[in-house]
Amino acid sequence: MAYKSILVPIDGSDISFKAVERAIDLADQYKAKLIILYVIPKGGEFIDLFNLKSVKKAFEEEAQKYFEKARKMAESKNISPSFRIMEGKPWEKIVEAVKNLNCDLIVMGSHGRGSIEKFLIGSCTERVLSEAPCPVLVVKE
């Protein structure tokens, strides 16, 4: 199968950047578009501090740093990724982005921030695997 549009969700973890590396290779191999997604997390179980402008701005600044790192990684293969920021539950926004952007592959890390977050909100990767309308390539540590 030749992929045309690859989505890579990132959270700043080492494993998410390993997924970026793999997605860059695939985008180069298939001459596919590469879309990097950062989701500002929001969850009903937490106090919704994310409506505060300063907190949202801090997340957006963090995303820009990650996007710049991914852009530099892609330069070696002459790939120009596009970048998106969304707000919400990460797994839901990943699935939504795939549908809205017509992606035909997701490349993501096996886990990101850590076991406490996994315990509280469940495994993002597991939810994406069960809900995504396209193949998901899971990159392990």
Number of domains in the chain: 1
pLDDT on residue 58: 86
Q: Residue 44 pLDDT more than 60?
A: no
* CA-closest candidate to residue 45, choices 128, 122, 127, 131: 122
Domain that holds residue 88: 5-139
Q: Residue 114 pLDDT more than 70?
A: no
Q: What is the dihedral of CA 3, 81, 35, 29, to 10 degrees?
A: 20
Q: What is the CATH number of the domain that holds 37?
A: 3.40.50.620
pLDDT on residue 57: 85
pLDDT on residue 51: 60
pLDDT on residue 104: 96
Q: Residue 68 pLDDT more than 90?
A: yes
pLDDT on residue 132: 93
Q: Two tokens at 136? A: 């998901």
